[in-house]
Structure 1
Amino acid sequence: MTADEELCLRPATELAALVRDRAVSARELLEVHLARIERLDPRLNAIVTLDPDGARAAADAADAALAAGDPVGPLHGLPVAHKDTHLTAGMRTTWGSPVHADHVPLRDELVVERLRRAGAIRVGKTNTPEFAAGSHTFNTLFGVTHNPYRHGLSAGGSSGGAAAALAAGLVPVAEGSDMGGSLRNPAAFCGVVGLRPTPGRVPTWPTAMAWTQLSVQGPMGRTVADVALVLGAVAGPDPRVPISLEHEDAGPLGAGDLTGRRVAWAPDLGGRVSVDPAVRAALTPAVGVVERLGATVEEACPDLDGADDVFGTLRAWLFEATFGELCRRSPELVKEAIRWNAELGARLTGADLAFAEQEHTRLFERVVEFFERYDVLLAPTTQVLPFPVEQEYPTEIDGVEQTDYLQWMRSCTLISPTGCPALSVPAGLTPDGLPVGLQIIGPPRADRRVLEVGHAFEQARGPLPAPAL
């Protein structure tokens, strides 16, 4: 590995310090990443829109600001790629759909704006499934994104392009969104870290449905500290977002002692999900690492009764509100999974929504009570290993049929309606060399806690081998 290649795989926290100390310039850092993108991305297909000239101009401006002694942000000079569902002023945003193939927004989305203000250098956009629907990244505009650890296998989704780009060293930081696992699932498949924050921690604007808490935006990185760094740049209240929260940043993450922590371990979420034996085998030693760090680990799971119905109803309602008109007007332009989900939403009644919200409330109350006894909950991030890219979604897990494109994601979708922050951190590799993710779930608003536990686990586990690109 050359020195330039090694630089591309260093943690974002280290790269940010190198730029601030002027040990490496923002322009130099950008050029090594652009060279790596040119060399590796044709096989990965992680970055679907690239603006090298604009990025070079921004990097030169970043270097000039440092030279002038201007104050700089925490991500100053770090290349970033934005999910292709997030608005980027002057750069096309397609949502992975032919309907928006030529759409160029006039303004940045809030998460994009905050990254820019923190000093990040925009290089392009990352691939996503059509309208971010599904945990496998493919669409008719740009094709499929491949897993950096094994070409021909899925990178997950819907933030699959972001996760693949991070794992391959194409960018040091990235962001995405998560309704049913879209930050956690691709992080697990690609051996990186993804955080689904508490709803409102990273405010979403603009949005047509500002009160919904099912879909969130959040950070991704190669380490937990990198994710915490990005979270600090994108979190915090905005007056235009009614559910936005204060950010609980408390400085650098701790040294890694979990003594006194009470940890619940739910290998199949209380018997509610089927899990591939290879995933179980990879996670068993990971739980042992947590115990060796001093935590008390017990097998336990909150009562998630009703979580399936809550997630399914609220997701279908959102899909009808967002895509229903398009599906009825031009069904040939929308993939079948989205049409199916929007049709479910169109059949909902007021009574259905009322019942779902009542169930939602009862679920939240039970989860809060559970976390009075435990500090965090550990669970599989995904129920399966990365699967062939030609397959839209797994139709069977350990002998159990998966009836639609959401069923195989239930290790994440059951958690989404709880309102809990959930971090996927690499647990290790299977004997065959594929990444497996450990999901660390905390009580609502305890984002800092899941980062601390994830950081401790990561330090004890040691780094994953980089993908052999």
Structure 2
Amino acid sequence: MQIWENDALALSTAIERGKLSAAELMRATLDRIEAVNGPINAVVSLRDGDALMAEARKADDSPRNGWLHGIPMAVKDLANVKGLTNTMGSPIFADNVSEQDDLFVTRLRAAGALIIGKTNTPEFGLGSHTYNPVHGVTRNPYDTTKSAGGSSGGAAAALACRMLSVADGSDMMGSLRNPAGWNNVYGFRPTWGTVPSEPVGDMFMHQLATSGPMALNPADLAALLDTMTGPDARQPHGKPHVFTAPMLASPVPQQRIGWLGDWGGALPLEVGINDISEAALRQMEDLGHLVEIIPAPFDADDMWESWITLRSYSVAAGSLALYEDPEKRKFLKPAAIWEIERGIAMTAMELHKASLVRSDWFRRTTDLFEQVDVLALPSAQCWPFDAEIDFPKEIAGVSMDTYHRWMQVVTPASLIGLPVVNVPIGFGENGLPAGLQLIGPRGSDGRLLQLAQDWHGATDWPNQRPPQFG
């Protein structure tokens, strides 16, 4: 086995026991990136190789300071890493060099991670297809003519190709789930508030997006989640630090899984998505879990209107200054302008109505989670699409009326901050991977990871079928 084929915890153990040096791992990582990154374009802003090798040798000569000691990581290009450009995929910030680390990056470094560069993302993270005018398109390792998904598409593709053993991502509208499903890896959106954001701007009203881990297995997911997790005294909604990694040593009890399918016909699915999802659920039944079909528990249109209202409000709040500057506005992509203009046109009562719908949906889930332990949905409504288009204009003959309508399937969890794990579930007749969302009530992060570990032990899709590339 090549060094780069190992998962993160295995590499960590090898370094701790002296069977592998950080320098050897860094050399193998840089060689792997050189060998396969070109046509995939997942890792961007890669630092100088000599400087990275020097950091790795220094790690070898230093006391171990965490499980990530000597492990190379690349951070999603929406977060600040001191000394690296944080372009957010926009020409406006193409030369923007960060002066300090974001909070979770500080935590990664404290655990020993060596930051080697960035992973690619769509412009401002908008859209589930990773392309931008600064770094270009990230392509799917299973078919380089297809999208790697997004907005954590660079992280997912880098993991699939074993350029990284573990990665961070972020998720407002499926950005840890869609690319994980499309790249045959795991992605975890934690309960909102588990991983704190940056202590800047408004910290009360915007509760849609969160950072989280991506990995080749649930054990690595849990380890990275525990590193990123923990309240920040400067922020009001932090949750207590509950370690999830130790929970994976215990088997998950039998889970009652509620299958939501196409949400009673409200969500168009491409041919094969429902079939591969139901095949995975039958496998979960074989593992001893109970699966039942759940009728659509809430009006899909009401939920969608609530979502796009609150999302546009959030995007506008974060990007208004760019829009108000005519010189910068001309560099904004149409999706960003559409979101901002919707956001600034909203009334307070429109936002209030959207939040009432969100509240109704949350109250409904409290009843649902008395009937079942986990809700299940596909991770995407379609297969990876042509990398040269911006987004699919229709699914199963149904026109998509916005740039993100094709990802409506991820909004039930995002709208109310529920934890979700994407588990890889195999490949379609087209040879492309798919994923399944497993959704739990707030605070059930550890139990979801236990369920994912149970699934991984029976399937191990990332190692069973890695991309035949490079």
Pair in the same fold by TM > 0.5: yes
**Quick one: which of 55, 58, 77 aligns to 2:55?**
58
Counterpart residue number, 2:305: 309
Q: For residue 294 of structure 1, what is the amino acid of its counterpart?
A: G
Task: For residue 25 of structure 2, give the secondary structure of its aligned residue in structure 1.
Answer: helix
**Quick one: which of 13, 17, 31 aligns to 2:27?**
31
Task: For residue 372 of structure 1, give the secondary structure of its aligned residue in structure 2.
Answer: helix
How far apart are the structure 2 equivalents of 1:406 and 1:126?
A: 22
How far apart are the structure 1 equivalents of 2:200 and 2:10?
A: 34
How far apart are the structure 2 equivalents of 1:303 and 1:218?
A: 27
Counterpart residue number, 1:19: 15
Q: Please tell me whether residue 245 in structure 1 is matched to residue 239 in structure 2.
A: yes
Q: For residue 271 of structure 1, what is the amino acid of its counterpart?
A: G
Matches within 5 A, 1:47-446: 47-51=43-47, 52-65=49-62, 70-211=63-204, 212-254=206-248, 260-300=254-294, 303-305=297-299, 306-330=302-326, 331-446=329-444
Task: For residue 378 of structure 1, give the secondary structure of its aligned residue in structure 2.
Answer: strand
How far apart are the structure 1 equivalents of 2:267 and 2:124?
A: 26
Contact 2:219 2:248 in 1 (8 A): no
Contact 1:258 1:290 in 2 (8 A): no
How far apart are the structure 2 equivalents of 1:117 and 1:254?
A: 23
Q: Unmatched 5+ residue regions in structure 2?
A: none
Contact 2:248 2:449 in 1 (8 A): no
Q: For residue 397 of structure 2, what is the amino acid of its counterpart?
A: G
Task: For residue 370 of structure 2, give the secondary structure of its aligned residue in structure 1.
Answer: coil
How far apart are the structure 2 equivalents of 1:301 and 1:465?
A: 34
How far apart are the structure 2 equivalents of 1:236 and 1:53?
A: 34
Task: For residue 175 of structure 1, give the secondary structure of its aligned residue in structure 2.
Answer: strand
**Shift in Å, 1:458:** 1.5
Counterpart residue number, 1:465: 465
How far apart are the structure 1 equivalents of 2:157 and 2:377?
A: 23
Q: For residue 32 of structure 2, what is the amino acid of its counterpart?
A: R
Q: What is the aligned length?
A: 461
TM-score (norm 2): 0.95
How far apart are the structure 2 equivalents of 1:283 and 1:128?
A: 27
Identity %: 39
**Shift in Å, 1:413:** 2.1
How far apart are the structure 2 equivalents of 1:304 and 1:328?
A: 38
Which 10-residue stretch deviates more, 177-186 or 199-208?
A: 199-208
How far apart are the structure 2 equivalents of 1:82 and 1:285?
A: 34
Contact 1:149 1:433 in 2 (8 A): yes
Task: For residue 371 of structure 1, give the secondary structure of its aligned residue in structure 2.
Answer: helix
Contact 1:236 1:247 in 2 (8 A): yes
**Shift in Å, 1:267:** 1.4
**Shift in Å, 1:259:** 5.2
TM-score (norm 1): 0.95
Counterpart residue number, 1:45: 41
How far apart are the structure 2 equivalents of 1:355 and 1:329?
A: 31
User: CA 1:255–1:267 in 2, change beyond 3 Å: closer, same or farther?
Assistant: farther
Contact 2:254 2:288 in 1 (8 A): yes
Q: For residue 466 of structure 2, what is the amino acid of its counterpart?
A: A
**Shift in Å, 1:302:** 6.2
How far apart are the structure 1 equivalents of 2:27 and 2:190?
A: 32
**Shift in Å, 1:271:** 2.8
Contact 2:252 2:450 in 1 (8 A): no
User: CA 1:216–1:294 in 2, change beyond 3 Å: closer, same or farther?
Assistant: same
Q: For residue 231 of structure 1, what is the amino acid of its counterpart?
A: L
How far apart are the structure 2 equivalents of 1:28 and 1:260?
A: 42
Contact 2:160 2:185 in 1 (8 A): yes
Task: For residue 33 of structure 1, give the secondary structure of its aligned residue in structure 2.
Answer: helix
- Please give the root-mean-square deviation of Cα atoms over the aligned residues, in Å: 1.5
> Can you list the C-alpha shifts for 1:100-155, whole angstroms capped at 9, x where unaligned?
01111111001111111111111100111100000000001111000011111100
How far apart are the structure 1 equivalents of 2:315 and 2:466?
A: 37
Contact 1:205 1:240 in 2 (8 A): no
**Shift in Å, 1:257:** 5.3
Contact 2:244 2:445 in 1 (8 A): no
Task: For residue 151 of structure 1, give the secondary structure of its aligned residue in structure 2.
Answer: strand
**Shift in Å, 1:329:** 2.3
Task: For residue 437 of structure 1, give the secondary structure of its aligned residue in structure 2.
Answer: strand
> Can you list the C-alpha shifts for 1:24-59, whole angstroms capped at 9, x where unaligned?
001100110100101111111111101133422321
Task: For residue 44 of structure 2, give the secondary structure of its aligned residue in structure 1.
Answer: strand
**Shift in Å, 1:252:** 3.5
Q: For residue 37 of structure 1, what is the amino acid of its counterpart?
A: I
How far apart are the structure 2 equivalents of 1:207 and 1:164?
A: 30
How far apart are the structure 2 equivalents of 1:460 and 1:466?
A: 16
Task: For residue 61 of structure 2, give the secondary structure of its aligned residue in structure 1.
Answer: helix
User: CA 1:410–1:55 in 2, change beyond 3 Å: closer, same or farther?
Assistant: same
Task: For residue 134 of structure 2, give the secondary structure of its aligned residue in structure 1.
Answer: coil
Contact 1:54 1:123 in 2 (8 A): no
How far apart are the structure 1 equivalents of 2:450 and 2:67?
A: 20
Which 10-residue stretch deviates more, 70-79 or 390-399?
A: 70-79
Task: For residue 415 of structure 1, give the secondary structure of its aligned residue in structure 2.
Answer: helix
Task: For residue 330 of structure 2, give the secondary structure of its aligned residue in structure 1.
Answer: helix
> Can you list the C-alpha shifts for 1:290-323, whole angstroms capped at 9, x where unaligned?
1011111101156233321221111111121112
How far apart are the structure 2 equivalents of 1:194 and 1:301?
A: 26
Contact 1:144 1:389 in 2 (8 A): yes
How far apart are the structure 2 equivalents of 1:381 and 1:312?
A: 19
